[in-house]
């Protein structure tokens, strides 16, 4: 797998929403346009730059993403997941 260069990493295509199933990725940043309350919650869930994540997949029929953050599994809907920018784990 090619390693993304840092400038290209923050492209719209690399969000948690379109991360492939079973991918081990890490957080690049959370988009600032998120509601501050939600942003804060995501941070407290551990979604800080550099945090490793495992995408476990999707709910049936293109449903919310299922992602393992630390020792918890969460499901996030598109509205949030597409604002979480990620890169493949190095």
Partner 1 sequence: MKKIVLVGKPNSGKSLLFNQLTGLRQKVANYPGVTVELKSGRFEQFELIDYPGAYSLSSLSRDEEIAVNKLNEALQDPNTALVICNLDATRLESSLMFGLQVQALARAHQKALVFALNMADELQRFGHQLDTAALSAALGSPVFAISAKTLLGIHEFRQGLLALANAAEPAVPALEHGDEQALRQFSRSLARTYGLASSVVLKNQNRIDRFMLNNLSGGLAFLLVMFLLFQSIFTLAAPLMDAVEAGIGAVAHWVTGFIGEGTTSDFLNDAIFGGVGSFLVFVPQIMMLTLIIGLLEDSGYLARAALICHRPLSYFGLSGRSFIPYLSGHACAIPAIMAARTIESPRKRLITMMTIPLMACSARLPVYALLISVLIPERAYLGGLVNLQGVAFFGLYLMGIIVALLVSLMLSRFVVSRDEKSDMPFILELPNYRLPHWKPLIVRVMSAAKSFVYRSGPVIFAVTVLIWLFGYFPHDAGGLEHSYLGQIGHFIEPVFEPLGLDWRYGVAILMSFLAREVFVGALGTLFGIDGADENIAGLAANIQADGLAFGAGFGLLLFYVVALQCVATVATIRAETGSNRIAAGLVIGYGLLAYALAYLAANLL
Provide the binding-site residues for partner 1, judged by CB under 8 A: 35, 37-38, 40-41, 44-46, 48, 56-64, 66, 68-77, 79-80
Taking Cα atoms as reference points, which of 45, 50, 46, 11 lies closest to residue 31? 11
Residue 2 C-beta: closest distance to partner 1, Å: 27
- Rank residues 2 and 61 by Cβ distance to partner 1 and give the closer one: 61
- Rank residues 8 and 63 by Cβ distance to partner 1 and give the closer one: 63
Per-residue tokens: 42: 């995501």
Per-residue tokens: 76: 């996030």
Taking Cα atoms as reference points, which of 88, 61, 57, 62 lies closest to residue 74? 57
Q: How far apart are CA 25 and CA 65, in angstroms?
A: 14
CA 69 to mean position of chain CA atoms: 9
Residue 82 C-beta: closest distance to partner 1, Å: 11
Residue 69 C-beta: closest distance to partner 1, Å: 7
- Rank residues 25 and 76 by Cβ distance to partner 1 and give the closer one: 76
């Amino acid at each position: 797998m090619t390693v993304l260069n840092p400038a290209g990493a923050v492209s719209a295509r690399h969000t948690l929403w379109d991360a492939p199933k079973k991918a081990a990725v890490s957080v690049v940043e959370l988009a600032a346009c998120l509601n501050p309350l939600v942003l804060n919650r995501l941070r407290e869930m551990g979604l800080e730059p550099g945090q490793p994540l495992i995408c476990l997949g999707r709910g049936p029929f293109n449903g919310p993403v299922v992602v393992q953050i630390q020792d918890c599994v969460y499901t996030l809907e598109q509205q949030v997941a597409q604002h979480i920018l990620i890169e493949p784990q190095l």
